[in-house]
């Protein structure tokens, strides 16, 4: 997973493990996993206490690290009566703005002492206007700002569907 530059690993019964590289899922060249194999793979990173909790609740969120490799976040769940898991690599190194390919305006905005919201935005003018209205209501609710207060937004469009928004009130 790490060697191939994948961000995620998905393990489920009846198919080979899949990895996500640059947002695209790719099946590994291995045989379909049996129920016993998926359980063994998923359980291999669990403590005894985590195994008991998973068996009681049929779902488990966890994190673990592999020295010299990476940290990982995982979610185990039951899918079609069998254990399945999704794991995400959390690199030890924090990437720079440049390494992430973010616009220079994001660095400037990050220096403000204000609130930040990541906002998924639906496509289309009508949907975008509706998204802005919903976002304003959310901000007012979360920040406990009255609807009469002035709110100033700085909006940086990172992609056509994700906005980074800086909020100031007063």
Write the DSSP string, 21-89: ETTEEEE-SSPPPPHHHHHHHHHTT--HHHHHHHHHHSEEEEEEEETTTEEEEEEEEEETTEEEEEEEE
CA distance 170 to 150: 5
pLDDT at residue 11, rounded to an integer: 96
**Low-confidence residues of the chain, pLDDT below 70?**
103, 105-106, 108-170
In the chain, domain spans: 8-90, 97-169
pLDDT digits (tens, 9 = 90+) for 38-88: 999 999 999 999 999 999 999 999 999 888 888 899 999 999 999 999 999
Fold of the CATH domain 8-90: Beta-Lactamase (3.30.450)
| Beta pairing partners, 152 | 168
pLDDT at residue 120, rounded to an integer: 47
Percent of the chain with pLDDT over 70: 59
CA distance 60 to 139: 31
pLDDT at residue 129, rounded to an integer: 58
């Amino acid at each position: 997973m790490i060697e191939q530059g994948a961000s995620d690993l998905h393990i489920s019964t009846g198919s080979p493990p899949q990895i996500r590289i640059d947002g695209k899922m790719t099946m590994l060249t291995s045989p379909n996993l049996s129920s016993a194999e998926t359980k063994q793979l998923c359980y291999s990173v669990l403590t005894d206490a985590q195994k008991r909790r998973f068996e009681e609740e049929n779902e488990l969120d966890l994190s673990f690290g592999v020295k010299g490799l990476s940290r990982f976040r995982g979610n185990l769940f039951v899918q079609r009566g069998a254990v399945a898991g999704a794991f995400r690599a959390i690199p030890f190194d924090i990437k720079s703005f440049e390494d992430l390919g973010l616009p220079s305006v994001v660095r400037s905005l990050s220096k403000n002492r204000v609130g930040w919201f990541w906002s998924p935005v639906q496509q289309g003018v009508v949907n975008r206007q509706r998204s802005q209205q919903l976002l304003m209501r959310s901000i007012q609710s979360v920040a406990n700002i009255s609807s009469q207060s002035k709110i100033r937004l700085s909006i940086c469009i990172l992609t056509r569907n994700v906005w980074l928004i800086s909020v100031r009130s007063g």
